[in-house]
Amino acid sequence: MKLRREEKIRDKPGKAKIRRGTQHQKEAIVTEEPAEIRPFVNTIIIGDAEEVLQALPDDSVDIVITSPPYNFGHQYAGDPSEDTREWNEYFAKLYRIWEECYRVLKPGGRIAVNVQPLFSDYVPTHHIISSQLLEIGFLWKAEILWEKSNYNAKYTAWGSWKSPSMPYLKYTWEFIEVFDKMTHKKAGRKDLIDITAEEFKEWVYARWAIAPEGRMREFGHPAMFPEEIPYRLIRLFTYRGDIVLDPFNGAGTTTAVAYRLQRRFIGVDISETYCHTAFDRLKKEVPQWGLFETPLPYEYPKARLVEWKEAIEASPIKATLLAEAE
């Protein structure tokens, strides 16, 4: 039996124009980093993400890497809702935070959101969040499957057994939704690239087999992604010295890895307990400065742990933010 060869598409550029996708939006847009972002760099900020992000200047962050609370009913430290909100309320809050993320990202900046749908509620969280990001104006870049291979739920946990009545499909992966702001191409200096050829070849295949975090009990957090997730996202999508923002920083995995990889960072979480944990992790980190690496073109201040009201001292709209918080 002869295998059929893949059909060769004729006039690909012409047909792409007819479809009117976003593949043509790939001009790197160079912007000057606003000085107003400097007081926020390398800080862990205790506060609500929506409020804290309002204090950050426009076009100041290079990438957002985050995993919002799943709304599964987890026991997060300092969370009176116990991670359980009505879905419309949950998504409305996320939408406002994504709007702020779009505003603070530089042109060409990226957002990578790790999310898992609550299958028992039949709510496609990953699709809804992707729709929100598109509506706000982000350009879709990729969807990465994080293959965990650790799912051991009972076959009839939320469905029928050996029957077409209501079979439940089991997922051994989570999703990482990746979007760009304004253009698919990011401006940056070649001498600040640190991804290797082997890493690049492996990671551009969008199915990542990575074991789940095994230290959640140690950090007192019920839903952490492993360090390998932000490690790959940071190396693949940013340059050394870029600013990494996590508005749901939790126990500080994103910020710890960013610090180790010579990226500047801003970590935000509403839980004071988790912010202290994140800060403690930073104190144990040592940035991996190579002997012959190009010096960073930015100052690299020591990590700080601050309250929200202390963080906004440097914001040009401080008075407005405080008035809205009253």
Between CA 49 and CA 41 the distance in angstroms is 16
The amino acid at residue 304 is R
Between CA 36 and CA 130 the distance in angstroms is 30
- 33 occurs within a structural domain: no
pLDDT digits (tens, 9 = 90+) for 231-289: 999 999 999 999 999 999 988 999 999 999 999 999 999 888 889 989 988 988 766 66
DSSP 279-298: HHHHHT------TTPPPPSS
Domain harbouring 70, CATH code: 3.40.50.150
Burial of 152 from C-beta contacts in 10 A (0-12 / 13-18 / 19+): exposed
Burial of 44 from C-beta contacts in 10 A (0-12 / 13-18 / 19+): buried
- 5 occurs within a structural domain: no
Between CA 266 and CA 243 the distance in angstroms is 7
pLDDT of residue 25: 80
Average pLDDT value for residue range 141-168:
74
- 185 occurs within a structural domain: yes
- 230 occurs within a structural domain: yes
pLDDT of residue 283: 86
Length in residues, the chain: 326
User: What are the backbone dihedrals phi and psi of residue 214, each rounded to the nearest 5 degrees, phi first?
Assistant: -100, 5
Total number of domains in the chain: 1
- Assign 3-class secondary structure to 152-187: CCCCCCCCCCCCCCCCCCCCCEEEEEEEECCCCCCC
pLDDT digits (tens, 9 = 90+) for 34-47: 999 999 999 999 99
User: What are the backbone dihedrals phi and psi of residue 103, each rounded to the nearest 5 degrees, phi first?
Assistant: -65, -45
Between CA 208 and CA 210 the distance in angstroms is 6
pLDDT of residue 70: 83
Average pLDDT value for residue range 160-186:
86
- 225 occurs within a structural domain: yes
- 30 occurs within a structural domain: no
- 122 occurs within a structural domain: yes
- 21 occurs within a structural domain: no
pLDDT of residue 152: 56
The boundaries of the domain holding residue 252 are 41-325
pLDDT digits (tens, 9 = 90+) for 185-234: 999 999 999 999 999 999 999 999 998 866 766 665 657 789 999 999 99
